[in-house]
Amino acid sequence: MIEELDTVSNSGTLSALAAYVEDSDFSYVEAVGPSGRVGLLFEATRAAEYADGASALERIEEIYGTSRWRPRAAMAMQAWSTAAPRSVSQGDVLKLLRARHLFAEAPIKKLFAYLGLALPAPSSCTWERRCPSTRAR
């Protein structure tokens, strides 16, 4: 899904946002729009333990050109949010980035709420429903 943002970014006029959560341990948000590309990584320390997390951290550092990316990311999300139903403050984004989250979904939910965006409905298909043979009997 993140790769599809490149198609949107090439338009120069559209805005889009994608979010990814891995095992409730880390989450990654990337957005594109007229203000440019934004990347946010929540629970970056835990992200480094996963291949996708390490890739997300590399992508973040590529976007911002530094390992001290959080203030720049907060500023970039504030600028991007002018395309959302509601704008988010740089301070609110920075708080989300610096906070410890028990579940990596939490900052995504808060960010979407700040932006006035609805989260997609959770899938009605769970692991147990897809794999009934793995249920305890």
- 40-83 confidence digits (pLDDT tens): 999 998 998 999 999 999 999 999 998 899 999 999 999 999 98
Element (H, E) at 9: helix 5-9
Token pair for 104: 């990596």
* pTM score, whole prediction: 0.81
Alpha-carbon span 101 to 137, nearest angstrom:
34
Q: Tell me how far apart the alpha carbons of residues 29 and 69 are, in angstroms, rounded to a whole number.
A: 14
CA 31 to chain CA mean position, Å = 8
Mean pLDDT, residues 104-123 taken together: 88
How far is residue 53 from each of residues 36, 42, 56, 81, 94, measured CA to CA in Å? 22, 10, 5, 24, 19
Q: Which residues form the domain of 34?
A: 2-134
Give me the number of domains the chain comprises.
1
Residues 6+ apart with CB under 8 A from 57: 41, 44, 47, 48
Minimum mean pLDDT among 1-5, 81-85, 117-121: which range? 1-5
Question: Residue 63: what pLDDT?
Answer: 92
Residues whose CB is less than 8 angstroms from the CB of residue 37 and which lie 6 or more positions away in sequence, other chains included? 5, 9, 30, 31, 63, 76
Residue 124 CB contacts under 8 Å (≥ 6 apart), including other chains: none
Token look-up 């946010």 returns: 40
Q: What is the CA radius of gyration of the chain?
A: 16
